[in-house]
Amino acid sequence: MSCEHHANDAAARRVIGEALDQTLFVEAGAGTGKTSALVDRFVALVRGGTEIDRIAAVTFTEKAAAELRERVRGALEQAQGEADVSPRIAAALESLDRAQISTIHSFAQTLLRAFSAQAGVDPDFEVQDPVSTERRRQERWRLYLESLDGNRAAEEAIDRVLTLGLLTGEIERLAGDLSHRPTMAELLAANPLSASEPSWPDVGRLRADVESVTSGAPEGDHLSGRLNGLLSVLQALERSGDGEREATLAAGANALANGYKGNASKWGGKDRKAAALEIAERVSGELNGVLAGLRAAALAALLPLVVEFVSREERVRAREGSLTFDDLIVRVREVLRDNDGAREAFRERFAALL
């Protein structure tokens, strides 16, 4: 870290240490002095008369929280001799072990216990460790799928995305991802995605286009292979009934993804090859567009089932008083957003949040 670097952001550092009544967002790279700046601000608050009990400092890991506490201790010890403020510094040092310097999850847990009544959670709630959260979610997802047995609409929605090429593990991962983003699940519950079904092109016309170049296609050329692959998919689509078309298209997905460009000398010239390539690109483009549209529509139809799982699980955990790390954050956010009393008490309790 060069001195010049520091000269450049000296003003920003001063604001962090002095503008104590302002809310700041500080973004800086690794090792640039973020923690030092936070410690400076902490000590400045103490100097200014804020009791250490009313300062909360949050970090992401236990290790960082422990480091922060020790750095605050070091900075307070250095400030100990300062004439006008030394009783404040001494009092802060005395209370430092009790200070709210913690991970964000631990802070959320403290708040949620304090506001459990307002948040509607059991004050003696337990916090699941992340490994059992994951295990439990997998188990509950399996039970949820079983509970959908015999639910025609649900079974059809699941079968459809599987037919279109999504794997069961991927659906489960979607459930996991949404469980980690309860806000997103909430949004999706309120505003379900809608994707309209794509319209199918005239398959006979596409087949005729491809045939117009496959008849004279050179043997052993990659572009010829690509066109033949497309032709097989189109012929299979023509033979398929309405109910089978999308499964047929999904089964041909590999042929649609083929990107071979062909060899002009084999095609007897650039122009002939270019014409053939243009048809291959256009036909695979149209079919890929249909496949993507079908997948989007199928996922949009599946999503409410996953969202239902996520919100149902959240209610079960609240009822059982067994919360995940994500719940801690979400529940605290909700109670502070929705409950005036909790928000007021929070403001009373903390003068500064770092």
- Output the six-digit token pair for 142: 């399996």
Q: Report the C-alpha gap between 337 and 339 in whole angstroms.
A: 6
Smallest distance from the beta carbon of 45 to Mg ion, in angstroms? 18
Contact at 8 Å (CB) between 287 and 256? yes
- Give the number of other CB atoms < 10 A from CB of residue 109: 20
Contact at 8 Å (CB) between 128 and 146? no
Residues forming a β-bridge with 103: 59
Contacts with Mg ion by CB under 5 A: the residue count is: 2
Smallest distance from the beta carbon of 288 to ligand ATP, in angstroms? 44
Would you count residue 339 as binding Mg ion (CB under 5 A)? no
Smallest distance from the beta carbon of 35 to Mg ion, in angstroms? 3
Smallest distance from the beta carbon of 36 to Mg ion, in angstroms? 8
Running DSSP on this structure, what letter comes out for residue 315? Answer: H
Q: Report the C-alpha gap between 179 and 186 in whole angstroms.
A: 10
36 binds, among ligand ATP, Mg ion, none (CB under 5 to 8 A by kind): ligand ATP
Q: Which residue has the tokens 């690794």?
A: 30
Contacts of 127 (CB under 8 A, 6+ apart): 105, 109, 323, 324, 325, 328
Would you count residue 142 as binding ligand ATP (CB under 6 A)? no
- Give the number of other CB atoms < 10 A from CB of residue 139: 10
Contacts of 157 (CB under 8 A, 6+ apart): 298, 301, 302, 305
In this chain, which stretch among 2-10, 26-34, 167-175, 184-192 interacts with Mg ion, using CB under 5 A? 26-34
Residues forming a β-bridge with 58: 102
Contacts with ligand ATP by CB under 6 A: the residue count is: 11
Q: Report the C-alpha gap between 62 and 101 in whole angstroms.
A: 10
- Output the six-digit token pair for 149: 């047995």
Smallest distance from the beta carbon of 32 to ligand ATP, in angstroms? 5
Smallest distance from the beta carbon of 77 to ligand ATP, in angstroms? 15
Residue closer to ligand ATP by CB (options 76, 301) is: 76
Residue closer to Mg ion by CB (options 34, 266) is: 34
81 binds, among Mg ion, ligand ATP, none (CB under 5 to 8 A by kind): none
Would you count residue 35 as binding Mg ion (CB under 5 A)? yes
Burial of 229 per CB tally in 10 Å (0-12, 13-18, 19+): buried
In this chain, which stretch among 29-37, 103-111, 231-239, 240-248 interacts with Mg ion, using CB under 5 A? 29-37
Contact at 8 Å (CB) between 13 and 37? yes
* Residue span 151-170 as binding mask against Mg ion, x where in contact by CB under 5 A, dash where not: --------------------
- Output the six-digit token pair for 266: 């084999």
11 binds, among ligand ATP, Mg ion, none (CB under 5 to 8 A by kind): none
* Residue span 20-59 as binding mask against ligand ATP, x where in contact by CB under 6 A, dash where not: --------x-xxxxxxx-----------------------
- Output the six-digit token pair for 243: 């109910």
Which residue in the set 1, 11, 83, 131 belongs to the binding site for ligand ATP (CB under 6 A)?
1
Residue closer to ligand ATP by CB (options 17, 182) is: 17
Residue closer to ligand ATP by CB (options 39, 112) is: 39
Contact positions vs Mg ion (CB under 5 A): 34-35
Contact positions vs ligand ATP (CB under 6 A): 1, 6, 13, 28, 30-36
